[in-house]
Structure 1
Amino acid sequence: MHRTEGLCIGAVVPRTGRLARLGDPLAFVLERLAPRLTHLAHGSRRLPLRLAWRDSRSDADGARRAVAELVRDEGVQAVVTTDGTRVLPAVADSCEVLGIPCVSTAFPWQTYVLDRGAEPGRPFRWTYHFAWGLDDIAAVFAEMWERVGPRRTVGCLWNDGPQGRSLRHPRHGFTPVAAARGHTLVDPGGYREPAAGFEQHIRRFREAGADVVTSAATVEDLALFHRQAQEAGLRPRLITCSRWLAQPRESPATDGLANTRIATLVYWSPRHPFRSSVDDTTAAGLAGDYRRSTGKPWLQLLGPAHALLEVAAHALATAADPTDRRAVAEALGRTRLSTVAGPLDFTCGPTPNVALLPLIGGQWRPGPDRQPELALVTNTRLPRVAPDAQLTVGL
């Protein structure tokens, strides 16, 4: 395939398969920014720039093929992605092997770093990530548990995949923060997705007197747990859940969670007081554009997806030579940039190659059109965003 001249930022986007819905924000951002990012100012020069994308097909092999195609067919100077927990590392690892600068977002940095085998003193050479940590999730969730009461006994509904392994990490995982705040975690062990049943978990939670449950389950698995817990007489006063439950549910009236008190993490919303470094669009403006264009409610991934392109464009603009991939990677490593997702600083992260986004707490509530709305209920980590509701818990 003939390559178009000029600079190119490539995106790996899930457009088919189980993660396709989570690819909608990045696909929208690519379409929105393509006419705005046709050129790049580099010193006194104005260089042509284009955006290209390939479908990961929501699996690791598809992700690796997508990176290879972007390199071979498009001659990309950088790759961006928001793909899932198993797929995103495949994108990053492919870029590391091929020597392509990569920026990713959307899941905890510990999972990104530890599952990819990084070691202290040996950071990645080409790949960068911005998000939040498992410790940040634990702090936000613990703050919400404490609305139920101090020193809770919390049942852990964690799978046996990358999420569960990271959450259980003795030093970088969930437990150290929760235990330091006086909470006791009850973890009956991992389950394979999709789950066949949660009888063992429910029995252990009841024996321990857990009245709060925390999870990183899929909607389907959490609904199965909720139904079986109700049948067994276990009625948690609050469920905190990250991962899929940080996004609006596709079938809230029939998914089995309609009347469940679910709290989650919030990393971006239209109420966040940030602007795009590309065109000065506000968070509220970006969310409004998404709704008008797609007819769908905004997703939290929208802000970080937009920030991916902002960071990649900034790195090209500030690299000593934007056509030299090593120079672009070095520019990523020194990036400090205000984006529509918030300020990102890759020079002082918790570990090399990582920048942090702050987390606050949210809870799903019924909206006026019977669709769930995400209310903001805590703001300790980001006081500039005012809560708009009180957390509600069961009796």
Structure 2
Amino acid sequence: MAPLTGRLAPLGKPLTYVLKALAPQLGHVRNGNRRYDVTVAVRDSRSDPGAARQAVHDLVTLDQAHIVLTMAGTQVLPAVAEACEELRIPCVSTTFPWQAYVHARGASPGHAFRWTYHFAWGLDDIAGVFARMWEQIDGPHTVGCLWNDDFQGTLLRHPEHGFAPVTSARGHALADLGPYREPATGFQTQIRRMRDHDTDIVTSAATTADLALFHHEARQAGLRPRLITCSRWLTYPHSQITTTPTVHTELADAHIATLVYWSPNHPYRSSLDGTTCADLAHAYQRDTGASWLQPLGLAHALVEIAHHVLSTADDPTEHAAIAHTLANATLSTIAGPLDWKRGPTPNIALLRLVGGQWHPGPKGPNLAIVTNHGAGDIPVTGGLQHT
């Protein structure tokens, strides 16, 4: 299940590329003494929750799927997972903080789903990475929070599962600049609050267009954040997410730091054929003419997991056997080691995060790794830049 069309389409490209690139290896699996032919069916979520639910139904009833793979979309991904849970079809997903994955489905941490499994990071992991980058600029700080009025912003503000527990424990204060509706038409209220709280660092989960508008209006008001940490869309090169030149120009000047969950410098290999992260990124750029994207490594890992489960389940033709194998799976992938038995909550395997920053380069923005606390095997490739 991939967003082939609609606003999430740029994030569907890595998954469709991986499926094509690995096609020769996916024609069959060996499970014990038996060989099973494999068919890969691709359905378009159209970047819409309703369309995604219908597409899941088609995968199960028309394509007779045994396992569903999906990624991308704060509304679409939970819709896919819920449809799979209802239809009793095993599902593996990624690119979504695990707290959001649980809460978006009306559950709480500790709840065990029967058919649906996810690998990613937590909001607490993002907060920890961001705080360590703030701390490279003296500190502790009062940090302005530019969060929307939707599900994303609500969860980031959550007193237990949001940013505050992690950042306050490290001595930082969070100043909520006030919710806003996406797409934003202006940020005058948030800029006044930024001035009132004397915040010189801003953290956000804004779209590229909204963050560029905020930065532009802040500069016009005589304010210039020393650093902006931003998750969500700013984990991707803004030059590939929007075609608006003014957005590119504004964000290139904004010192945007973000989370890094995969890069060509990560020291992992594919469990299928030993392909390295650098190999995968280079092949993607060679074959598509586009820069690598972080979801590329996770898309590859999705396929590795499906291959592993079909190769090791007691009966790869039975949904229950596949789900049971997923619940107990451990696998070293090109995205890093995954272990569903360790939690932090049922159905979740954790990925490690490091901190990165978009640095201007001759071929567009380049994502440098600027902090690797807790992941020393992932090399730092640049220094944090700030005003």
Instruction: Compute the TM-score of the two structures, normalised by the length of structure 2.
Output: 0.97
8 Å Cα contact 2:285-2:291 kept in structure 1: yes
Matching of residue 272 in structure 1 with residue 272 in structure 2: no
Specify the alignment match of 1:388 in structure 2. Answer: 381
Name 1:238's counterpart in structure 2: 227
| Map of 1:155 onto structure 2 | 144
Instruction: Determine if the alignment matches structure 1 residue 43 to structure 2 residue 35.
Output: no
* 1:130 is aligned to 2:119: yes
Give me the whole-angstrom Cα distance separating, in 2, the residues matched to 1:122 and 1:220.
Answer: 36
Matches within 5 A, 1:96-135: 96-119=85-108, 122-135=111-124
Kept in 1, the 8 Å contact 2:339–2:350? The answer is yes
Q: Deviations over 1:333-373 (max 9, x none)?
A: 0000000000000000110000010000111111123x000
Instruction: State yes or no: 1:263 paired with 2:265.
Output: no
Counterpart of 1:67 (choices 32, 56, 60) is 56
Q: Tell me, what secondary structure is at the counterpart of 1:172?
A: coil
SS in 2 for 1:148: coil
Give runs of aligned pairs for residues 1-16 of structure 1, distance below 5 A.
Answer: 12-16=1-5
AA partner of residue 167 (structure 1): L
Letter in 2 for 1:177: V
Q: State the secondary structure of the residue aligned to 2:114.
A: coil
Deviation of 1:189 after TM superposition, in Å, equals 2.8
**Counterpart check, 1:217 vs 2:210:** no
One-letter amino acid matched to 2:150: G
Q: Does 1:81 align with 2:70?
A: yes
Alignment gaps of 5+ in structure 2: none
Give, in angstroms, the shift of residue 197 of structure 1. 1.1
Indicate whether 1:352 and 2:352 are aligned. Answer: no
Query: CA–CA distance in 1 between the matches of 2:304 and 2:210?
Result: 35
Q: CA deviation at 1:193?
A: 0.6
Number of the residue aligned with 1:343: 337
- Using the alignment, how far apart are the partners of 2:150 and 2:87 within structure 1? 27
Residue 379 of structure 1 aligns with which residue?
372
**188, 199, 202: which is aligned to 1:199?**
188
After alignment, is 74-83 or 244-253 more displaced?
A: 244-253
In structure 1, stretches of 5+ residues that fail to align are: 1-11
CA contact (8 A) 2:186 2:213 kept: yes
CA distance in 1, matches of 2:259, 2:111: 31
Deviation at 1:247, TM superposition (A): 0.4
- Cα RMSD of the aligned pairs, angstroms, is 1.1
DSSP 3-state at the match of 1:185: strand
* Count of residue pairs brought into register by the alignment: 382
Matches within 5 A, 1:317-336: 317-336=311-330
- Per-residue deviation, residues 233-266 of structure 1 (Å, max 9, x unmatched): 1111000001100001124853121211110000
Change (3 A) 1:368 1:22: same
**Does residue 254 in structure 1 map to residue 243 in structure 2?**
no
CA contact (8 A) 1:86 1:162 kept: no
The structure-2 alpha-carbon separation of the partners of 1:384 and 1:209, relative to structure 1 and needing over 3 Å to count, comes to same
Q: Who is 1:145 aligned against?
A: 134
Contact kept in structure 2, 1:95 and 1:102, CA below 8 Å: yes
From 58, 64, 83, the counterpart of 1:94: 83
1:34-87 superposed Cα distances (whole Å, 9 cap, x missing partner): 221111010011111121110000010111111011111110100010121110
Superimposed CA distance per residue, residues 155-192 of structure 1 (whole angstroms, 9 cap, x where no aligned partner) = 00111122112111111111100110010101133211
Q: Which moved more, 1:250-259 or 1:89-98?
A: 250-259
Distance in 1 (CA, whole Å) between partners of 2:380 and 2:196 is 35
Confirm or deny: 8 A CA contact 1:362 1:378 kept in the other structure. Answer: yes
Secondary structure of 1:239 counterpart = strand
257 and 121 in structure 1: CA distance in 2 versus 1, 3 angstrom threshold: closer
1:217 aligned counterpart, secondary structure: coil
How many angstroms apart in 2 are the aligned matches of 1:124 and 1:288? 37
Q: Which amino acid aligns with 2:205?
A: A
The residue that corresponds to 1:165 in the other structure is 154
Q: Contact between 2:111 and 2:345, CA under 8 Å: does it hold in 1?
A: no
Q: Secondary structure at the match of 2:57?
A: helix
Would you say the 8 A contact 2:110–2:345 is kept in 1? no
- Opposite residue 332 of structure 2, the aligned amino acid is S
Percent identity between the aligned chains?
A: 60
Amino acid at match of 1:272: H
1:285 and 2:279 correspond: yes
CA distance in 2, matches of 1:32, 1:236: 42
Instruction: Tell me the distance in 2 between the aligned counterparts of 1:213 and 1:248.
Output: 19
Q: Which runs of 4+ in 1 moved over 4 A?
A: none
Asked if 1 retains the 8 angstrom alpha-carbon contact of 2:102 and 2:109, the reply is no
Q: Per-residue deviation at 1:120?
A: 5.4
Q: Is the 8 A contact 1:252 1:258 kept in 2?
A: no
